[in-house]
């Protein structure tokens, strides 16, 4: 299925369910990036452990941990239940190809957060989420007494979008570095 169709399909899910899809992707990143590093540094010995590639992949893995935490908090604040329904990660016969697949997953994650943000904006505009947004503000930031013009859900989603945009760029860079080494 083309990525645009997949994103449209996911966007039709109830909001917490939609975010559960990104939770699965983020969880997969947490597992995949250290595995990729181990494979390149210790098994194939094609990349140095102090290299830029390793630094980038470590950062992507660590940030995915925070993202999981953010997403779980949003889902719970909306009355949903976070689920960890991720597929088994297969072998990695070709590292560059595996990195290209990771890039596609980073792009998918970014696309879902973007779609979630526009849906959240629609709902906030329609006044549906004010109560939930206030509750989330007190849960997440403990600053309900200092309301911002945007809802805290939007703020969190914007942070996630900015981070994922940089993950896409960094993963693209990793692929270019690895291709040059071939
Ligand atoms: Fe990411």
Whole-number Å distance, alpha carbon 145 to ligand 1 midpoint, is: 32
Percentage above 70 pLDDT, the chain: 87
- Mean pLDDT confidence for 122-146: 65
| Residue 85, CA atoms < 13 Å, CB-side half-sphere | 9
CA of 71 to the centre of ligand 1 (A): 12
Query: What pLDDT, on a 0 to 100 scale, did the predictor assign at position 145?
Result: 47
Contacts of 167 (CB under 8 A, 6+ apart): 60, 63, 106, 109, 110
Positive or negative CA dihedral for 125, 127, 133, 134? positive
CATH number 1.10.486.10 given to 3-181: no
The alpha carbon of 61 and the centre of ligand 1 are apart by a number of angstroms equal to 8
Of 128-132, 138-142, 169-173, give the lowest mean pLDDT range: 128-132
Residue whose C-alpha is closest to residue 62's, from 34, 82, 20:
34
pLDDT at 146 over 50: no
Q: How close is the Cα of 34 to the center of ligand 1, in Å?
A: 14
Distance (Å) from CA 127 to ligand 1 centroid: 30
C-alpha 36 to ligand 1 mean position (Å): 15
For residue 132, how far is its CA from the centre of ligand 1 (angstroms)? Answer: 26
What is the whole-number distance in angstroms between the Cα of residue 115 and the centre of ligand 1? 16
Selection from 104, 164, 123, 102 nearest residue 16 by Cα:
123
Q: How far is the CA of 64 from the centre of ligand 1 (A)?
A: 6
d(CA 164, ligand 1 centre) in Å: 5
- What's the confidence (pLDDT) of residue 151? 66
Over the stretch 45-98, which tens digit does the pLDDT of each residue have? 999 999 999 999 999 999 999 999 999 988 888 888 999 777 777 788 899 999
CB contact at 8 A, 24 and 10:
no
- pLDDT band at 147; cut points 50, 70, 90: very low
User: Can you tell me the distance from the alpha carbon of 167 to that of 63, in angstroms, rounded to the nearest whole number?
Assistant: 9
Confidence band, pLDDT 50/70/90 cuts, at residue 131: low
More confident residue, 37 or 182: 37
Ligand 1 centre and the CA of 172: distance in Å? 12
Contact 109, 23 (CB under 8 A): no
The rounded Å distance from CA 136 to ligand 1 centre is 23
Sequence spans of domains, the chain: 3-181
Both tokens assigned to 81: 């239940």
What distance in angstroms lies between residue 142's CA and the mean position of ligand 1's atoms? 26
């Amino acid at each position: 299925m083309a990525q645009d169709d997949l994103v449209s399909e996911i966007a039709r899910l109830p909001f917490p369910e939609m975010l559960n899809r990104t939770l699965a992707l983020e969880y997969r990143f947490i597992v995949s990036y250290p595995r990729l590093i181990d494979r390149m540094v210790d098994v194939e010995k094609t990349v140095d452990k102090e290299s830029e590639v390793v630094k980038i992949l470590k950062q992507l893995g660590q940030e995915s941990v925070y993202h999981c935490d953010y997403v779980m908090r949003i889902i719970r604040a909306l009355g949903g239940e976070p689920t960890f329904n991720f597929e088994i990660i297969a072998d990695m016969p070709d590292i560059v190809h595996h990195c290209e697949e990771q890039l596609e997953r980073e792009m998918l994650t970014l696309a879902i957060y973007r779609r979630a943000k526009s849906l959240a904006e629609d709902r906030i505009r329609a006044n549906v989420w004010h109560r939930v947004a206030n509750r989330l503000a007190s849960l997440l930031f403990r600053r309900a007494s200092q309301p911002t013009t945007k809802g805290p859900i939007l703020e969190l989603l914007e942070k996630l979008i900015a981070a994922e945009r940089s993950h896409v760029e960094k993963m693209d860079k990793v692929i270019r570095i690895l291709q040059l080494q071939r």
